[in-house]
Amino acid sequence: GSLEEMSLPLYFGWFLLSSIQDKVRCTSMDFLKTLDTLEAFKKHLIDFTGKAEKEVDLEQYFQAKGTLHCTTMFCNYGKAEGAKEYAQNPAVKDLYGSAFELSLSALFVTPRTVGARVSLSEEQLLLWPADAEKAAESAPLPLGSRAHVTLGCAEGVEPLQTGLDLLEILALPNGELIEEMELGSLTYYGEGRWLLALREPICTPACFSSFYD
Ligand code: ACK
């Protein structure tokens, strides 16, 4: 009935501890600041601006989107396909409210979004919907490939885009290794798509819970 549907959240996910959120935001800002100054980035500026001569301030270009989290299942209060089944999954019920440690293994930037890739453990994959990667237009990607934390979106872009951008990057066979930075190795995938594989993944405590607007 409709009352039952109402009790489903907007989404389920892991919510980063607030003290770590600041650390992650700082790391991402540092990365954007550095990327902005690289000659290799300037060479491809047109991907972001549409004009070769125009400058871009990446820190201003992206807007933060609420509390940092990694969405497992977007339920849209029960309107999304499979929402009810997900909420009834025994793993979801058992692990609801539990603490986890998430591993952020890469940062990525496109003209639309900036995000962190999340590498899920076997246990965390129990909470991952089987069809999350179906949105990829490429050949199927491994379960959990889409897992991410949205760090910011360009004007007019919805956070839904971040996971799609990540899938798009992961589906590309080979990027161009640009340089070894302090944080890790930076690869360019064309069309303004950049990925920094972190030398040391950022480990962050996170609570598996849900969000109602
Ligand atoms: O950054 P995100 O993972 O992308 O977190 C937000 C959250 O749900 C609330 O909007 C994500 N989201 C929105 N729509 C969808 C969708 N259709 N499929 C998967 N995730 C979605 C969004």
Q: Is the CB of 184 under 6 A from ligand 1?
A: no
User: Could you identify the atom of ligand 1 that is nearest to the CA of residue 150?
Assistant: 1
Tokens of 85: 């089944």
Name the catalytic one among 32, 69, 103, 188: 69
pLDDT of residue 3: 55
Q: Confirm if 31 and 196 have CB atoms less than 8 A apart.
A: yes
Q: Is the CB of 192 under 6 A from ligand 1?
A: no
- Positive or negative: CA dihedral 21, 27, 30, 34: negative
pLDDT in tens, the chain (213 residues): 555 555 899 999 999 999 999 999 999 999 999 999 999 999 999 999 887 677 899 999 999 989 999 999 999 999 999 999 999 999 999 999 999 999 999 999 999 999 999 999 999 999 999 999 998 887 789 999 999 999 999 999 999 999 999 999 999 988 999 999 999 999 999 999 999 999 999 999 999 999 998
pLDDT of residue 6: 59
**Ligand 1 center from residue 201 Cα (angstroms):** 23
**Ligand 1 center from residue 10 Cα (angstroms):** 9
Q: Confirm if 98 and 117 have CB atoms less than 8 A apart.
A: no
**Ligand 1 center from residue 198 Cα (angstroms):** 24
Q: Is 185 exposed, middle or buried (0-12, 13-18, 19+ CB in 10 A)?
A: middle
pLDDT of residue 31: 96
**Ligand 1 center from residue 129 Cα (angstroms):** 13
Q: Confirm if 73 and 83 have CB atoms less than 8 A apart.
A: yes
Tell me how far apart the alpha carbons of residues 4 and 130 are, in angstroms, rounded to a whole number.
Answer: 23
44 is annotated as an active-site residue: no
Determine if the pTM surpasses 0.90: yes
Name the catalytic one among 112, 117, 146, 148: 148
pLDDT of residue 2: 57
Write the CA distances from 204 to 15, 68, 102, 192, 197, integer angstroms: 10, 11, 5, 28, 17
148 is annotated as an active-site residue: yes
ipTM of the complex: 0.99
- Which residue lies with its CA nearest to atom 22 of ligand 1? 160
Q: Closest Cα partner for 174 from 188, 164, 185, 184? A: 188
Model pLDDT for residues 123-175, shown as the tens digit of each residue: 999 999 999 999 888 778 999 999 999 999 999 999 999 999 999 999 998 89
pLDDT of residue 49: 86
- Which residue lies with its CA nearest to atom 19 of ligand 1? 74
User: Could you identify the atom of ligand 1 that is nearest to the CA of residue 135?
Assistant: 18
Q: Are strands 62-63 and 148-154 parallel, antiparallel or unpaired?
A: antiparallel
